[in-house]
Amino acid sequence: MPIRLMTPLTKDKLSALRAGDEVLLSGTVYTARDAAHKRISELLEKGEEPPFDLKDAVIYYVGPSPARPGEACGAFGPTTSGRMDAYAPALLERGLSAMIGKGERAQSVVESIAKNGAVYFGAIGGIAAINARCVAAKETVAFPDLDSEAVCRVEVCDMPLTVVIDSAGNDYYRLGVERYLRQRKVQISEVPED
């Protein structure tokens, strides 16, 4: 049964999660992709504040497509997280508690997740239209000139996610491969020789 979580995601909420846990996330999530991360990083380097409070916040690596009439947003599928790896540790140091995306993360990001008690959630890219049904409201809060890559505040309800990297740094992708290889080794050793 999925674990229900409501933002803000404090460290005590995240410490109970384990790599592989299924989650239904509700509350406020901020969208940001490559260009937005670059601008946020530039603000921080100048000693300026980011466009939203990073403390216990969640960033979803997504560029929502335009909404059809009567909908809060269009397709809401994740982009490849590795493109944000250069920016993630600095945001985690400033209180970011969770990231949502797809794909593996650099070792430096895994270490920063563990150091800061954060998590990395995986979202399924192939269900972007279904994910959009989880969006109750969307509002642009920074960098509107970036169009679909602008930073938006999004209210989600029961968004389905998987804990890929937990707050201890356990990586579900790595653990899954190791488990598969162990099972495969057992199956091969059970095959009788002729």
Give me the active site residues, please. Answer: 37
CB 117 within 8 A of CB 167: yes
Which alpha helices (H) appear in the chain, and where do they start and end?
11-15, 34-45, 88-93, 107-116, 128-132, 172-190
Locate tokens 């109750």: which residue? Answer: 136
CB 158 within 8 A of CB 134: yes
Tokens of 63: 């560029």
Backbone phi, psi, residue 91, to 5°: -70, -40
